[in-house]
A and B are shown apart, each in its own frame.
Chain A
Amino acid sequence: MSTIEAAAPARRTRSPQTLAKAGVVAALVLLILFGWARYDNFLSSYNILSFLRYNAMFALIALGMCFVIITGGIDLSVGGVAALGSVVAAQASGYGLVPGVAAGIATGLAAGAVNGVVITRLQIAPFIATLATMLAAYGTALLLSGNQSVSVSYDTAFTEFGQGDLMGFPIPAIVMIVVTLGGWFVLERLPTGRRVLAVGGGEDAARLMGLDVERLKFGVYAASGALAGLAGAILAAQFGAGQPTEGVGWELFAIASVVVGGTLLTGGVGSVGATFAGAMLLALLFNLLNFENGKGWISLSAYWQSVIRGLFLLAFVLLQARIARTQED
């Protein structure tokens, strides 16, 4: 049998995603080094642990968003679902830590399932479907809470879920790390994860290859909702109250994390690790700003953080566009 030459030798250049992934990790390391060199207590265990504690919920939401975006979808409802989750968790917190957290997750799961059904059964574009769910989630949160924040029960251990430590490590940070590792495992090592990637890479192709596209899509929206609900439970436990109006703009922050992590919004590619790094990077900017203000040389108001975050997003997006373009030639 003759060997076929027409098969082009694969270009052994790195994919744009690999480079973007390296970029975000490098930027994260550089920022940490910068902070370590410039500020005294930057790498103190207090700063590191509280940083992880208060940013865990953003990382969880970004993880869910990463899976959704990999399928070529988007989930605008996460902020609203987190708010709803925080209200429900606070209301259930009287029954204990586990029931409170479970109530938050279950609420998020239900909202995510609604997204999944509307998107896969009614065939409505994810952007619109999740936009509607966001409105409905805020509405429900306000109805349940009577338009005000709902205090959690201090008779149970519920607040420990946000404020407590386990072996000296903040519980939210532990949850974040365990869940993120789990997400990485699912995406990289389980058939389900590879199939999710395939759905985003070509829905029709995946369908003709015999994959149950609808079930996979339903799954990612349900997961994103559950993670938003979990974030809501952390929110309630951390602030001691369910916050029906919190979470505005979280969805776009999560999308920014995913984008900074090099995941294409067109779907088909994505990395849990890079998304996590992206979320940490955006959060770190705020932390650094606080330290800079603490030095007293300049006084940048907290409002600068969104400007700086925007500039960072811009820089990353431009860099990725450039890499993508050089790869094309």
Chain B
Amino acid sequence: MVDQTIDGKTGAPKRTSRSLAAAAQRYGVVVALLALILFNIAATPNFLTWQTLNVNLTQVCAIVIVAVGMTLVIAAGGIDLSVGSLMAIAGTLAPLIFTGALFHLPTTAVGIGLAFVLPVIAAAILGLFNGWLVTAFRIQPIVATLVLFIAGRGIAQVMTNGNLQVFKEPAFQVIGLGRIAGIPVQVILMAIIVAAAAFVVRRTLFGRQLLAVGGNPRAARLAGVPARRVTLAVYGISGALAGLAGLVVVARNGASDANLVGLGMELDAIAAVAVGGTLLTGGRAFVVGTLLGAMVIQLVRYTLLANGVPDAAALVVKAGLIILAVWIQQQAKGE
């Protein structure tokens, strides 16, 4: 279809006709965010306060951290449904470690340290397991990650027999409650992750190879791109970030409930990625877009709640928002 529409000498004519839609795709999420902020300044009392900013940022942190991993997986042509379950596993493991329930601890400090490191490693290994299923057996990503979606939460529940773990361990809870120069640690963490991922995608070999694998896996392999290794790594990263997000959530709550940590997170993360402008077909990644996408979704919910609209209605609005965002992308891509 395309070959007739393009003249060999120049690709220019195409641009003008689609420029508006392309701009909408690229900057639509920014415009939406600005519009929401302006609306709130006008309509919502006490919107411009640290309090509001804090509430919204902390609400969005865990989703963004997971969604960054999801952005990479989707850009590489996959999808990861297991992130919510991996959050539950990491979030369950951490208290088990620092309370010494899992193994004997020499000192509390060691326990805290291990409680940060081991759950993330465990989640990363499970992520690699996803990647292994996808690369070694050529199982479709939806199916491969469905295995851990189902089994992963079960593993977390079995570890605690489904019981709620309540704890008070300030040294560990820094990751969810601490502040540096008044900024919540989790927000700093989120910012670092977003910046690092954006840099990796734009400037590094790994980032470009990831997009090549997502854009055309067969061509990438024939051009010498280590497609398997890249895919494996991407799922590993997604797992690790999900694990980290799990720690943030339990630290914030001071409690870990294997039944609830990360429940439905896979779909929230995918929604943030989609609203942020990353096509689900792979080959493209807008990491910053994902951050903004998550913020738009959060702010819509906040705006509705702050203006007396029930949470349930916010779900319906969120649904419309997702469709609208993807529809705009579709227009930008053109037929």
Which residues from chain A sit less than 8 Å from chain B, CB to CB?
A: 74, 76, 118, 122-125, 127-129, 131-136, 138-143, 147, 248, 252-253, 255-256, 259, 265-266, 301, 303-311, 313-314, 317-318, 321-322, 324-325
Contacts and interface: CB of A to CB of B under 8 A. Distances in A.
A310 B154 contact: yes
28 contacts: A74-B142, A76-B267, A118-B323, A122-B323, A123-B330, A124-B326, A125-B280, A129-B323, A131-B322, A132-B318, A132-B319, A135-B318, A139-B314, A142-B315, A147-B312, A248-B263, A252-B150, A255-B143, A265-B143, A266-B140, A303-B157, A303-B161, A308-B154, A310-B148, A313-B146, A317-B144, A318-B133, A325-B138
Q: Classify the secondary structure of B's interface with A.
A: helix
B152 interface: yes
B139 A143 contact: no
Q: Classify the secondary structure of A's interface with B.
A: helix
B320 A132 contact: yes
A135 B79 CA distance: 19
A122 B157 CA distance: 41
B195 interface: no
Interface in B23-69: none
Contact of A252 (B138, B149, B161, B271): B149
Contacts of B270: 127-128, 131
Given A143-B312, A255-B142, A301 B158 contact: yes
Interface in B131-163: 133, 137-140, 142-144, 146-155, 157-158, 161-162
A131 B267 contact: yes
B274 interface: yes
B330 A136 contact: no
A131 B79 CA distance: 14
Nearest to A122: B327
Nearest to B314: A139
A199 B270 CA distance: 27
Interface string B260-296: 0001100100110010000011000000000000000
Nearest to A74: B142
A76 B270 CA distance: 12
B81 interface: yes
A310 B150 CA distance: 5
Contacts, number: 143
Contacts of B317: 139
Contacts of A322: 137
B152 A124 contact: no
B330 A124 contact: yes
A124 B154 CA distance: 33
Nearest to B156: A303
Nearest to A302: B162
B16 to A, nearest CB: 23
B92 to A, nearest CB: 11
A265 B134 CA distance: 14
Contacts of A310: 147-152, 154
B316 interface: yes
Nearest to B327: A122
B315 A136 contact: yes
Among A76, A305, A306, A317, chain B packs the most CB atoms within 10 A around the CB of A306
Given A309-B151, A314-B147, A303 B162 contact: yes
A293 B30 CA distance: 55
A19 B311 CA distance: 48
Given A76-B267, A252-B81, A259-B146, 9 more contacts: A133-B319, A134-B267, A301-B161, A301-B162, A309-B154, A310-B152, A313-B147, A318-B133, A321-B138
Contacts of A308: 154
B310 interface: yes
Q: What 9 A-B pairs have minimum CB-CB distances, sorted nearest first?
A: A310-B151, A139-B315, A306-B154, A142-B312, A303-B157, A136-B319, A307-B154, A139-B316, A321-B137
B313 interface: yes
Contacts of A131: 267, 270-271, 322
B153 A306 contact: yes
A84 to B, nearest CB: 11
Contacts of A147: 310, 312
A321 B137 CA distance: 6
A316 to B, nearest CB: 10
B137 to A, nearest CB: 4
B152 A135 contact: no
